[in-house]
A = this chain, B = another copy of it.
């Protein structure tokens, strides 16, 4: 089965917005062996959407439309699809009840225009939306499947996984596509490629792609075979060759984020953690607490944006700040040791640096960062020079702080 994805929304035709949903859907569809052959972006315009949908309906067996299911006048997908397929729209009382109940749960009254979301083409199934109000829609006609999903990623992903994947699984026969992601920390992308290119180049199947995603490098392997088992065996073979040359830079081969891996180690070793952040301003704590259940090991910490806070909350000595400056090895170490002492955590992390764009000097340029990890065996401090803008420097700082922590607790 071949698929086509249509993203609807005028904002996706501006210079500022990507369609990111289609990447998620493509990954899921590929896992069923379904190939995506076309992707189209079209604005909130009935005539143009109708023309795009007509073409898609002619050439593809599975057509997925995203967005345009909201409660506003802009949201035209239901009407357009129903019209092209020659179906009328009818209001489904159960959907209205569900939307009203959702509003009631959060103590609000449902605005009248939400009733638009309960319009469903005749003969179509509606797909419940656990994370929002707009239901999805599933239509089969002329050996085609048309699926309409809401635009917000959380709603779209949950609905697709729960409602569409099982339905599609039943339809797909034959070729299987399996993917493995090897995640790497502490090496630049070019270095990763240089090490593994001689290994993956000879292979057509699995195919290999290297991606750089906010600090982490990901090696994606995709294999095709008649059965899942055969595809997995192909992945296994290549993975076994790649792993030794990347060694302990690999932090995950089964999807976990770096903060999840660190969390698992902390739980396993029954350690607690506290952070004292300067240039990251809370990003490190935020990443650690993205993981549900992180309260089990993360006590919290201090965002020490001013010198005063470094002294008061992490016990850094004023003399040290004066002698070496806030961005320095000794201050990073004092932050890590101080926050550990003050919170009685097993491990303390201290971070200080120049995120830019201002504040850089010849001696301490933008991108200079010091990170320290302190535990009962002592403290480790490392100096970094990160490239890029403020956002990138902060992101890389949080990434390397987590990576230093991972290496320290693993040993």
* Residues of A bordering B, CB below 8 Å: 9-18, 20, 23-24, 26-27, 30, 35-45, 48, 51-52, 55, 59, 70-74, 102, 105-108, 111-114, 131-132, 152, 154, 179, 188-191, 193-194, 197, 201, 207, 209-212, 220, 222, 275, 277, 280-290, 292-295, 298-306, 308-309, 312-313, 342-344, 356-358, 367, 385-392
Contact = CB atoms under 8 A, between A and B. Distances in A.
A106 B387 contact: yes
A300 B292 contact: no
Interface of A is mostly: mixed
B286 A16 contact: no
A116 B20 CA distance: 34
A132 B188 CA distance: 13
A84 to B, nearest CB: 15
26 contacts: A10-B220, A13-B26, A14-B30, A14-B222, A15-B27, A16-B209, A17-B23, A37-B45, A55-B55, A70-B189, A74-B209, A107-B385, A112-B194, A131-B388, A275-B303, A277-B282, A277-B285, A282-B282, A282-B288, A282-B303, A289-B303, A289-B305, A299-B305, A300-B306, A300-B313, A308-B343
Given A43-B37, A209-B74, A282-B285, A16 B220 contact: yes
B302 A391 contact: no
Given A26-B13, A39-B40, A70-B189, A312 B131 contact: no
B292 A285 contact: no
Contact of A303 (B212, B300, B356, B390): B300
Nearest to A29: B15
Contacts of A107: 385
A334 to B, nearest CB: 15
Contacts of A309: 299-301, 343
Contact of A283 (B26, B45, B286): B286
User: Most chain-B CB neighbours within 10 Å: which of A59, A220, A305, A356?
Assistant: A305
B299 A308 contact: yes
A312 B16 contact: no
Contact of A190 (B14, B114, B342): B114
A35 to B, nearest CB: 8
A294 B299 contact: no
In the complex, the count of this chain's copies comes to 2
Nearest to A220: B16
Nearest to A55: B55
Nearest to A28: B15
A296 to B, nearest CB: 10
Contact of A42 (B38, B197, B358): B38
Contacts of A358: 292-293
Contacts of A298: 281, 305
A217 to B, nearest CB: 11
Nearest to A297: B305
A220 B13 CA distance: 12
Nearest to A222: B14
Contact of A154 (B14, B72, B391): B391
A21 to B, nearest CB: 11
Max chain B Cβ within 10 angstroms of own Cβ: one of A113, A209, A387? A209
Contact of A13 (B36, B41, B59, B277): B36
Given A107-B385, A367-B106, A71 B190 contact: yes
Given A24-B15, A73-B201, A190-B113, A303 B305 contact: no
A305 B282 CA distance: 13
A303 B285 contact: yes
